[in-house]
Amino acid sequence: MKLLHIADLHIGKRVNAFSMIEDQAHILKQILRMIDAEKPDGVLIAGDIYDRSQPPVEAVELLDTFLTELTASVRSVFMISGNHDSPERLSFGRRIMRKNGLHIAGVFAGVLQKVGLTDAHGAVNIYLLPFLKPAMAKPFFEQPIESYDEAVRAIISSAKIDERERNILLTHQFVVNGAWLPARSESESLSVGGLENVDLSAFAPFDYVAAGHLHKPQKIGRDTVRYAGSPLKYSFSEARHQKSAALLELGAKGDEIPVRLLPLIPLRDLREIKGPIAELLRIGREEASGAKDYIHATLTDEADIYDAIGQLRLVYPNLMTLDFENSRVGRVLSPGAAASDAIAEKSPLDLFAAFYQMQNNNELNPEQVRVMERIFARAAGGAEE
Ligand SMILES: [Mn+2]
């Protein structure tokens, strides 16, 4: 049995204010062509389907098109929610869609969902574990559940998995291997200090773990516990990643499971360039196709440059960020990065207001400002109330 594993589509995402929707449509089509060529029996989509819990219209339309074509060309599609998805919204129509081979686990309802498949070697069980926080598992168990690791272990052990059969898990968690931590990217939601870790050993009953959450394609410990990674580069920290989809081939129980990484080629690459402006403009004009890429440019000119962004955008229309590096200024950061330098000078309320604005496309209203002021005052040990 052949299965294709992808994850972290983040449909509807914007990167540095650029909409990725065209790039996502392109890469999802490429995945469909890959499926036509490889003819997998199933496709595993390991969470962060959308970039936000209330995705924009064009994102919903793109996912609709993708899933319609996907279910027309493979027998079974499995999809879980990630931390960016709304579990309830992603679950819409799941009982109807199941009839067409699309299995969605959005909301965790107390038991690990299982879908049984079979091939010439017998049963293959696909388990679907949507992203969850410890508090979402807690009500279903008697033992104390304080951490992500305890939550995942409790759910897996209560599933009574038959280890004589082949078992596959879809999960969207931060999997670590003892003290070894996986590679992170800036486009993932960052968390603080190890709270979210789930140790690899929790997944022992599974022959293959199709993970989502981390945007760099990578294995954790064994070859068969794997992050598919995002299909596109969503931050400059990923400029050197080779994005891919993972194709695994299941033989009999206990046989080695070969995993092939099928490269994904974006409509526009996302990359960093550095040098004097004349040089960068010359290269851009000579390589017309590369000039369409999403660019982070670093200019090394010693002299002042008039309207550097304007000049560069004539050749690189998708220039995303610009900074300067020369002996006079050392390293002067672009407006976006400069803003992050100023973080230390901002009040917690200003920072929260900026965050709220980014998340909701809406400013805090006066009532919300008052509530947040009280919370910050209390957190700071202020005497209010
Ligand atoms: Mn993600």
More confident: 190 or 143: 143
Q: Note the pLDDT tens digit of each residue in 209-221.
A: 999 999 999 999 9
Give me ligand 1 centre to Cα 385, in Å.
40
pLDDT at residue 333 is higher than 70: no
- C-alpha neighbours within 13 Å on the C-beta side of residue 171: 26
In the prediction, which pLDDT does 207 show?
97
Nearest to 325 by CA among 278, 271, 275, 283: 275
Report CA(132)–ligand 1 centroid distance (Å).
Answer: 14
Bridge-based pairing state of the strands 102-105 and 76-80: parallel
What average pLDDT score do residues 322-341 get?
Answer: 64
CA of 189 to the centre of ligand 1 (A): 7
Centre of ligand 1 from the C-alpha of residue 176, in Å:
16
At residue 359, φ and ψ (nearest 5 deg) are -75, -35
Lowest mean pLDDT among 51-60, 204-213, 331-340: 331-340
Q: How far is the CA of 326 from the centre of ligand 1 (A)?
A: 36
Domain ranges, ordered by start, for the chain = 2-263, 270-337, 346-379
Nearest to 211 by CA among 233, 239, 232, 182: 182
Predicted TM-score (pTM) of this structure: 0.83
Distance from the alpha carbon of residue 46 to the mean position of ligand 1, in angstroms: 9
User: Ligand 1: distance of its center to the CA of 283 in Å?
Assistant: 33
Confidence (pLDDT) at 361: 58
Residues 339-385 pLDDT 10s: 455 566 677 888 888 777 766 656 788 888 888 888 888 887 754 44
Q: What pLDDT is stored for residue 87 in this prediction?
A: 96
Least confident of 191-205, 257-271, 300-314: 191-205
| Helix/strand/coil for 348 | helix
Tell me the three state secondary structure of residue 349. helix
Cα(198) to ligand 1 centroid in Å equals: 16
Alpha helix stretches (DSSP H) within the chain: 21-38, 57-73, 87-90, 94-98, 134-137, 148-158, 277-286, 308-315, 335-341, 348-360, 366-379
Asked which of 25-29, 177-181, 227-231, 353-357 is least confident by mean pLDDT, the reply is: 353-357
Query: Which pLDDT value is given to residue 337?
Result: 47
Which CATH code is given to the segment(s) 2-263?
Answer: 3.60.21.10
What average pLDDT does the structure give for the chain?
A: 91
CA of 250 to the centre of ligand 1 (A): 26
| pLDDT score for 384 | 41
Q: Could you tell me the two tokens for 314?
A: 């004539």
For position 338, what pLDDT does the model report?
44
Helix then strand then coil, % of the chain, to nearest 5 = 35, 25, 40
For residues 41 and 382, which has the higher predicted lDDT (pLDDT)? 41
Question: 184 versus 223: which is more confidently predicted?
Answer: 223
